[in-house]
Every structure is written in C-alpha cells, then in structure tokens.
Amino acid sequence: MAAKIIPATDDPKQAALARNRIAAAKCRSKRNDAETKLAAMEREIEDLNQGLKADYHALREEVLTLKAELHQHATCDCELIQQYLANEAQRYVKNGGGANGSALGTMVT
C-alpha cells in the first residue's frame, strides 16, 4: 500500500484521527487479503477431500468385489483360498460378527 500523505494540521487530535483512518484501512485490507487466501485454501482442501473420498470408496468397492470373487471359489481345491476363508471366518466369529471397526476387514457374504 502506498504511503498516504497526512494533511498538515495544527490540531494533534485531527492528525491522530487521520493516522488512525489510514491504519484502519490498512488493517481492513490485510484482513480481506487473509480471508481471500483462507477461502482459496478451503476450496483447495475441500477438492482434495472429495478426491480422497472418491478414492476410498473406489478402493473399498474393489476390496469387496475381490472378496466376493474369493467366496465364489469356496468349493475349489486351492489351499490358499481355503486358508484365507478359514482365517476370515475365525476373525469374523472372534470379532462378534465382523464388528471390528475396519471397513476393509469385514467379510462379504
């Protein structure tokens, strides 16, 4: 902000009021600039949050789809799949029906 010239006056009270007006205008300008920057930052963070939520939901859906595919192979002879299903069943029972607080650790039936 460019320096403003304070009119010469013999009254010290008027000079103080003039300086105060200039300081108040400068303060309002700085506050408005800070608010604008915060609003821009808020929009940026909100966009990032929306993107992360979309990624989370896509990954969660992918995990559920993969688990459903594993459950379709419950009758095959693959030892790894049988081991996984047995472990998931034990964890499901141990945690009281899957209420373990993990969105990705619950069984799909």
Residue 48, both tokens: 């990032």
Interatomic CA distance for residues 79 and 48, integer angstroms: 42
Residue 5 maps to a domain: no
Percent of the chain with pLDDT over 90: 52
Contacts of 65 (CB under 8 A, 6+ apart): none
Residue 101 maps to a domain: no
- How many structural domains compose the chain? 1
Interatomic CA distance for residues 34 and 40, integer angstroms: 10
Confirm if 106 and 98 have CB atoms less than 8 A apart.
yes
The residue range of the domain holding 27 is 12-94
Residue 109 maps to a domain: no
- pLDDT digits 0-9 by tens, 45-84: 999 999 999 999 999 999 999 988 888 888 888 888 889 8
Q: Which residue type is seen at 64?
A: L
Confirm if 91 and 105 have CB atoms less than 8 A apart.
yes
Whole-model pTM? 0.56
Residue 90 maps to a domain: yes
Interatomic CA distance for residues 109 and 50, integer angstroms: 29
Res. 98: pLDDT tops 60? no
Residue 29 maps to a domain: yes
- Helix and strand totals (H; E) in the chain: 2, 0
Residue 23 maps to a domain: yes
- pLDDT digits 0-9 by tens, 35-48: 999 999 999 999 99
Residue 3 maps to a domain: no
Residue 32 maps to a domain: yes
Res. 7: pLDDT tops 70? no
